[in-house]
């Protein structure tokens, strides 16, 4: 058990320090790996003596426990990263996940808002009030730049370049990227920075771009709640989340002719295959239009 703990601690430190993963991500990896260690320990094995049969048996056990194929794939991915690290560190002589095939996953297309629904959502906050103006600007910037909600609420004053209409984003793996946000979002942001931010900012010392009436930085949970409230006000009856606006950002760009590489860069995807899911969304959009309007559709 002690040896297992040493291996796990070494890998988790690697994720924190060298990979720069967020605390929540490291905790998720830790949970999956600890549960796997407990499973193999019941067979008298340690993490250093695991073979591919142990990994296959674990996947079977997960399936029998009703764990979804997507969750199984995530847990297997955590194992692959762990044993790849152990192999590089010469803690094991073979990777027991190398010959393991993960569960087949149905392609899950992201759900998006139509452009008209986005417009209705943006019009929901009362811009005549300080809170309504801030909320409008946050939704506007999220849709204009495709940021993750954690990236949005984590923005500092110094991350915004109003002259160039660019935002510097600290994304996954502590990697920075520059994302344009356009003139419409810029004009709304200028109004917020002129009318609201100085008044609320005087109550605290937060360097966050988006703050509360008490001068504190906005939270992810706070933004989720206000977005849901404005969606109901706008009469949008489909489930909504900050990530749905990110999906909508990417899909609407591709529908209007943006190239995939540019969208990949703006979203901060390390692998273009992650971005390619949006091409399937736009293809479905084209097929639906053909079926609806072609005389032999």
Higher-confidence residue of 199 and 291: namely 199
What pLDDT is recorded for position 188?
A: 95
Q: Which residue in the block uniquely carries the two structure tokens 């990994």?
A: 55
81-97 tens-digit pLDDT: 999 999 999 999 999 99
CB-based contact 173:21 (threshold 8 Å): yes
Residue ending a domain, choose from 88, 106, 136: 88
2 is catalytic: no
**Residue among 75, 136, 148, 244 flagged as catalytic:** 148
Domain shared by 169 and 270, yes or no: yes
Residue 184 falls within a domain, yes or no?
Answer: yes
278 is catalytic: yes
Q: What is the mean pLDDT of residues 88-116?
A: 83
What pLDDT is recorded for position 294?
A: 46
Residue 100 falls within a domain, yes or no?
Answer: no
What pLDDT is recorded for position 291?
A: 63
Domain shared by 60 and 141, yes or no: no
243 is catalytic: yes
**Residue among 84, 220, 269, 285 flagged as catalytic:** 269
Cα angle, residue 201 at apex, residues 245 and 135 outer, rounded to 5°: 25
The partner residues of 33 in beta bridges, in order of sequence, read none
Domain shared by 212 and 272, yes or no: yes
How would you classify the pairing of strands 160-161 and 176-180?
A: unpaired
Residue 35 falls within a domain, yes or no?
Answer: yes
Dist CA 95 CA 102 (whole Å): 15
Residue 101 falls within a domain, yes or no?
Answer: no
- The CATH number assigned to the domain holding 45 equals 1.10.150
Residue 19 falls within a domain, yes or no?
Answer: yes
Number of domains in the chain: 2
Domain shared by 82 and 147, yes or no: no
CB-based contact 142:152 (threshold 8 Å): yes
CB-based contact 168:151 (threshold 8 Å): no
256 is catalytic: no
265-289 tens-digit pLDDT: 888 887 777 777 666 655 555 456 5
Domain shared by 245 and 144, yes or no: yes
148 is catalytic: yes
* Region at 87 (left for phi over 0; alpha for psi -120 to 50; beta for the rest): alpha
292 is catalytic: no
Cα angle, residue 41 at apex, residues 37 and 46 outer, rounded to 5°: 75
Q: How many CB atoms lie within 10 A of CB 49?
A: 13
Dist CA 283 CA 279 (whole Å): 6
Sheet strands side by side (includes 166-170):
160-161, 166-170, 176-180
**Residue among 136, 186, 246, 252 flagged as catalytic:** 246
Residue 106 falls within a domain, yes or no?
Answer: no
Residue ending a domain, choose from 88, 123, 158: 88
- The CATH number assigned to the domain holding 138 equals 1.10.443.10
Residue 261 falls within a domain, yes or no?
Answer: yes
Residue 94 falls within a domain, yes or no?
Answer: no
Domain shared by 61 and 127, yes or no: no
The domain in which residue 171 lies consists of 115-292
**Residue among 243, 261, 280, 287 flagged as catalytic:** 243
Domain shared by 156 and 224, yes or no: yes
Is pLDDT above 60 for 29?
Answer: yes
**Residue among 172, 177, 216, 285 flagged as catalytic:** 172
């Amino acid at each position: 058990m002690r040896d297992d703990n040493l291996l796990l601690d070494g890998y988790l430190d690697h994720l924190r320090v060298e990979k720069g993963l967020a605390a929540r991500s490291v905790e998720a990896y830790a949970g999956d790996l600890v549960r796997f260690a407990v499973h193999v320990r019941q067979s008298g094995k340690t993490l250093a003596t695991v073979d591919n049969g142990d990994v296959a048996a674990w996947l079977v056990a997960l399936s029998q426990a009703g764990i979804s194929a997507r969750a199984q794939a995530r847990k297997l991915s955590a194992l692959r990263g762990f044993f790849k690290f152990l192999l590089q560190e010469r803690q094991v002589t073979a990777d027991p996940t190398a010959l393991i095939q993960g569960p087949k996953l149905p392609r899950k297309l992201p759900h998006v808002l139509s452009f008209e629904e986005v417009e209705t959502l943006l019009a929901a906050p009362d811009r005549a009030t300080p809170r309504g103006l801030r909320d409008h600007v946050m939704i506007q910037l999220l849709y204009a730049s495709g940021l993750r909600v954690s990236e949005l609420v984590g923005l500092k004053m110094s991350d915004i370049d109003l002259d160039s209409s660019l935002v510097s984003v600290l994304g996954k793996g502590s990697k920075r990227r520059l994302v344009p946000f356009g003139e419409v979002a810029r004009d709304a942001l200028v109004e917020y920075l002129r009318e609201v931010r100085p008044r609320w900012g005087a109550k605290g010392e937060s360097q966050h771009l988006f703050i509360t009436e008490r001068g504190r930085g906005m939270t992810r949970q706070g933004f989720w709640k206000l977005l849901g409230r404005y969606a109901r006000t706008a009469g949008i009856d489909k489930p909504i989340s900050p990530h749905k606006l990110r999906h909508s950002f990417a899909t609407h760009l591709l529908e209007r002719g943006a190239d995939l590489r540019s969208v990949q860069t703006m979203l901060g995807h390390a692998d273009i295959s992650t971005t390619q899911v949006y091409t399937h969304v736009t293809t479905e959009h084209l097929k639906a239009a053909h079926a609806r309007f072609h005389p032999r559709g």
